[in-house]
């Protein structure tokens, strides 16, 4: 108990402040806050440690951890955290966003829309789920279309704030393309809003980041029009 108490003391955050930050969705940086020793443990070691802690969470809730249905839950949750929903924390999982020469001289907008987004709000560890729409202006180089989906998924698979997610995707695309002409538009539904607090099941959150030529009204409007155009497939 004394060890747990010292950890809470280190946080230097009272319950009221913690609630306010969570409700206001405050973010402190464009970069995901990681410790310097974030990657010293292997995935297997992280799973083992999380498994033990989650066992204690379930035990504190009063659950019978000898029940056959619950025995494996701490391991399943730990493996899910490390290998699936938070795998974007591990830089080894970062997709290789190689670009290719634009040999066909296409010099207009490339828009990939309706990319599935599944991420977890870092304030309550509840999911937010929606769609990302990505645009860039083709120049001397282009990027593989599937790589755009992988970039979105990589940055989504970590505890996140939607605003940060939007900026991280834009930063990665800009760096990969060596071009400022990128646009990111994300619309999602936050379960921390729909299942707790205000319990609003209908609202969605939209975040955008327009860079380079996408700041121009005409280009930005074309991008938005493409997003909202339904095409028969």
pLDDT (tens digit, 9 = 90+) per residue, 183-196?
Answer: 999 999 988 887 88
Known catalytic membership, residue 123 = yes
190 is catalytic: yes
Report yes or no: 123 and 148 within 8 Å, Cβ to Cβ: no
Cβ–Cβ < 8 Å for 109, 219: yes
Where does the pLDDT of residue 5 fall: very low under 50, low under 70, confident under 90, or very high at 90 and above? low
State the architecture of 99-227 in CATH terms. Answer: 2-Layer Sandwich (3.30)
- What pLDDT does 81 receive? 98
CATH 1.10.286.10 domain position(s) in the chain: 39-85
Catalytic residue (one of 122, 163, 180, 187): 122
- What SS3 class is residue 172? helix
Q: Which part of the chain is CATH 3.30.1130.10?
A: 99-227
pTM equals: 0.87
Active site residue 59: no
Higher per-residue confidence, 1 vs 107: 107
Check if 163 is active-site. Answer: no
Residue 38 has pLDDT above 60, yes or no: yes
- pLDDT, residue 8, reads 62
Q: Which of 51, 160, 172, 192 is catalytic?
A: 192
pLDDT digits 0-9 by tens, 105-137:
777 899 999 999 999 999 999 999 999 999 999
Annotated active-site residue 174? The verdict is no
Return the structure tokens found at 179: 């071009």
CATH class entry, domain 39-85: mainly alpha
């Amino acid at each position: 108990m004394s060890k747990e108490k010292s950890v809470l003391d280190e946080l230097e955050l009272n319950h009221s402040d913690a609630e306010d930050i969570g409700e206001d969705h405050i973010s402190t940086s464009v970069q995901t806050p990681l410790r310097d020793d974030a990657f010293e443990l292997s995935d297997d070691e992280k799973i083992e440690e999380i498994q033990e802690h989650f066992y204690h969470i379930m035990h504190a809730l009063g659950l019978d951890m000898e029940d056959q249905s619950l025995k494996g839950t701490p391991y399943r949750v730990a493996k899910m955290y490390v290998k699936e929903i938070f795998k974007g924390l591990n830089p080894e999982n970062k997709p290789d966003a190689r670009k290719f020469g634009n040999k066909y001289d296409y010099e207009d907008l490339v828009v990939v829309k309706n990319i599935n987004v599944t991420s977890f709000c870092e304030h309550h560890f509840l999911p937010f789920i929606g769609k990302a729409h990505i645009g860039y202006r083709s120049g001397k180089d282009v990027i593989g279309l599937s790589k755009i989906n992988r970039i979105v998924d990589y940055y989504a698979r970590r505890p996140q704030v939607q605003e940060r997610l939007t900026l991280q995707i834009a930063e990665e695309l800009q760096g990969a393309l060596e071009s400022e002409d990128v646009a990111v538009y994300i619309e999602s539904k936050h379960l921390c809003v729909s299942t707790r607090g205000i319990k609003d099941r209908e609202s969605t959150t939209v975040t955008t980041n327009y860079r380079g030529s996408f700041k121009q009204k005409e280009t930005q409007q074309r991008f938005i029009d493409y997003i909202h155009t339904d095409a028969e497939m």
